[in-house]
Structure 1
Amino acid sequence: MAQNMQNMGQENGNAPPYVRDKRGEFLKGHPPIFKHSVDPLQADDRLRAIERQLEIAQCDDKEKDLYASRQLQGAALDWWDSFHFGRTEANPITWAEFCSAFRSHHMPVGLMKLKRKEFLALKKGSMTVAEYCDKFIQLSWYAPTEVDEDGKRQELFMEGLNDGL
């Protein structure tokens, strides 16, 4: 039957509509499975890796929640089931809500503040410029309002460099 429908579309000069397999594209990138981590920064790294794959697959909010939650197992899946079950709103969970809830559960607020302070105090010191740049980029994730504009980001970067450069 499907073959007949496809042939009919071709006979009329209409090509069958192309349907993207976003889930297949998402999984093709091998997004990590997350169960539990003793290191909260590892939980955040996993979430960001999943988020990158969702962006590549061009998923919408509903698909992001659906696909990302399927990458959770063990204790992380228990958290998700509890979070999802405990919601009283009829509206679907947005990706921003998912990320916020995930981070607030898996990453203590104190750690986020510590990483932000570490970023703001970052100096090149004995690091090479490349090492400093890598560290700057890595830690800037924890201070989004300080680097939300290119000028602010450049100023902070330059402040951390040695005077001799």
Structure 2
Amino acid sequence: MVSNQRSNASPSGDTTTPLQEKAPSVSYQQFMTMQPPVFTEKGNPDKAKEWIEEVERIFGLLKMPEEDKVNYGSYLLKGDAKNWWQSTSEIRDKKMQQFLDLQQNQLSLEEYITKYRHLEVYCPHLYTTDQARAGKLVRGLRDGLRSKVLTSRPCDLDEAVTMARCIEEDCARSQKDHHKKAG
């Protein structure tokens, strides 16, 4: 039910500030006229997959804004499926807060990147552009590494990760060379 929007350069050619393309909202009546299927199955992954595909198709036809998909989709859950969804709400909220609070601190860079990517899936609606996702990752880096990656101005998450890795490797190599010369 979720996909990431990609950033666009502004008309002036400035790539630092992505345009926010806001999809028009879809009313409840518009959504329901498409006769979306209700999901009540318990423990049936094939039925769940079919339901998700059908609801995604309706979202696509209506050009449903990302921020509305979860609300509209979860409304179609009934019975055991609704109970399951409500019980996972608390878990999703905790994971989202962990993502918002995530900082590298004492984690290695690889541990931080892994944790970032794991937690990011719980809140794709918070950082919807490539540049915003990269910015969130960079802001959580340790001070020295953060400032160096920031000056590189990464455009997307993969570029930010690559830059952080390269800068960290370069710093480690420099320290190693310094210790060889000093020793």
TM-score, length of structure 2 as denominator length: 0.37
TM-score, length of structure 1 as denominator length: 0.40
Higher relative contact order (CA 8 A, sep 6+): 2
